[in-house]
Amino acid sequence: MTILLLSLALLLLAAWAWQREKHWRRSVQQVTKAAGLSIFEADKLSARFQGLAEAQNSLNKEEYLRRLFESLLNEIRQGVVIVDDHQRIKFCNRTMGHLFHRPSIHRGRTLLEEFSDHQVSDTVQLAIQNQRRTVKEIDVHTTLGSGAISTRHYLIEAAPLPAKAEAGAWLMVYDITEQTLAEQVRKDFVANASHELRTPLTLINGYIETLQSGLIKDETAMRRCLDVMEKHGKRIIRIIEDMLTISRLENGSSALNLEPFTARSCVQDALDHLSPMLEGRDTRIQLDFPPDGGQMVGDRFYWDQLFTNLLENAIKENPNPGLILKVTGQWFADHCLLTVADNGIGIAAHDLPFVFKRFFRGHKHHSPEIKGTGLGLSIVRRTVEAHGGTIDLTSTPGVETTFRIRVPLAATSLG
């Protein structure tokens, strides 16, 4: 039925077009007859008019296709530029302007005049000279309005235009900043995890060899060896548990084990677990929760890890005396607000967007004694999100760093 209707529509369209052309020819004949032209001259004039009309239709079609082509290129995520053999811009899509922070691109100007970057123009020039596709990765540094310098990583690809087209080249620019950062984070993680695992394993193996040699006869010394081995064994288990935890949270491979508990009890358990780190340090802990401790319903295992990671980070990153740690909880009609704040060295502004990413470790200038794989804060964020909440971070270095967690009461109530 559909094919029949389509065929009928095509027949009607063809009949309409034939009638329109017949009417147009009749009109031309009437005009030429009124002008006193012969039938032969009238036919020639009619053919000429028809040729002009077809040429105009062709131009209109080309203009339509050009505009459609440009509209499509303006919507893609890659920057696209077409230049002549002197690198004068013939077309540039909007994305290219966004990538290079240019409010407008002027056709007729050269790539170097518009983008002020030799890396771009040199790549295109190489493609034109060698008459082959050229690919290059570049870094572009831009000074933002705040004075901060933004670095973006681009993959640029240039090639000469087809032989049948005019001389010149096309250029396509891909923003690979996220992929580059992810790859660097992955490399850092492999290095960090390898170090984190190798160090305790080396110590454990060393003590095993010492004990096996029989050189240690004193029971106290033997107990000390076993304590060190136990400590580093737990460290290995912690690293592996972190990896498994983040994997479960991100893949959603296990449902939350919901149970009632209080937020204050979670914080207290975390502090008890971290008590060895606090021994001999001038650190003050301030807790502020409702009288009932802040009733919650959730997966206690993940909330224990959340508070342990947040408190451990604050203690580990601030070895100097005078650290004040504040953990508070407020309950409202539809949500609870949990905050963990400290007055330590803080987090650099350029690190803030990345602290919740897997394997990210800031403060690379710190002492190598500060250990970690960079999974702690990623576990914190995933735990909050798994319970339907949100987390945000603000930091003024040397003044205060605050994590704010908002969890809807619907996610923390049995009802």
Please report, for the domain that includes residue 242, its CATH number: 1.10.287.130
Residue 13 lies in a domain: no
Say how many domains are in the chain. 4
Regarding whether 198 and 294 lie in a shared domain, the answer is no
pLDDT of 51 reads 60
Which of 129, 157, 175 corresponds to the end of one domain?
Answer: 175
What are the φ/ψ torsions at residue 137 (nearest 5 degrees)? -100, 135
Let me know whether 273 and 299 are in one domain. Answer: yes
The reported pLDDT for the residue numbered 68 is: 62
Q: Identify the pLDDT of residue 366.
A: 46
In a domain, 19, yes or no: no
Query: Are residues 316 and 239 part of one domain?
Result: no
In a shared domain, residues 312 and 204: no
CATH code, 287: 3.30.565.10
Is the CB of residue 1 less than 8 Å from the CB of residue 14?
Answer: no
SS3 (DSSP) at 166? coil
The per-residue pLDDT string of the chain (415 residues; one tens digit each, 9 = 90 and over) reads 444 444 444 444 445 445 555 555 565 555 445 545 455 555 555 565 566 555 555 556 566 565 666 666 777 788 888 889 889 988 888 888 888 888 888 888 898 888 888 888 899 999 988 889 999 988 887 766 555 667 889 999 999 988 776 788 988 899 988 888 778 777 777 777 777 788 788 888 888 888 888 878 788 888 888 888 888 888 788 778 777 777 777 776 567 888 899 999 999 999 998 888 888 888 899 999 999 999 998 889 889 989 999 999 888 888 888 899 999 999 998 899 999 999 988 888 888 887 887 766 665 444 444 455 677 888 899 899 989 999 999 998 888 999 999 998 764 443 3
Q: Which range of residues forms the domain containing residue 336?
A: 258-411
Rg, C-alpha atoms of the chain: 35
User: Which one, of 325, 340, 211, 324, lies nearest residue 263 by Cα?
Assistant: 340
Query: Is the same domain home to 97 and 201?
Result: no
Is the pTM above the cut of 0.75?
no
CATH assignment at residue 96: 3.30.450.20
Residues 206 and 219 both lie in one domain? yes
Alpha helix ranges (H) inside 299-346: 300-317
343: part of which helix (H) or strand (E)?
Answer: none
Nearest to 343 by CA among 324, 362, 326, 328: 324
Domain boundary residue, one of 10, 45, 75: 75
As to burial, measured by CB atoms within 10 angstroms (0-12 exposed, 13-18 middle, 19+ buried), residue 237 is: exposed
Integer Cα distance of 376 and 310 in angstroms: 8
Has residue 198 been placed in a domain? Answer: yes
Q: Say if residues 412 and 391 touch (Cβ distance below 8 Å).
A: no
Asked whether residue 212 is domain-assigned, the answer is yes
Whether residues 170 and 97 share a domain: the answer is yes
Q: Measure the CA–CA gap between 308 and 270, rounded to whole angstroms.
A: 5
Asked if residue 388 belongs to a domain, the reply is yes
In whole angstroms, give the CA distance from residue 339 to residue 404. 5
Both structure tokens of 205: 């193996």
Together in a domain, 38 and 139: no
Domain final residue pick, 235, 251, 267: 251
Residues 399 and 262 in one domain: yes
Residues 6+ apart with CB under 8 A from 192: 359, 361, 372, 373, 374
Same domain? 44 vs 129:
no
The verdict on residue 362 lying in a domain is: yes
Domain assignment present for residue 20? The answer is no
Whether 262 and 407 map to the same domain: the answer is yes
Residue 16 lies in a domain: no
In 104-167, DSSP assigns E strands to 134-143, 149-160
Residues 278 and 367 in one domain: yes
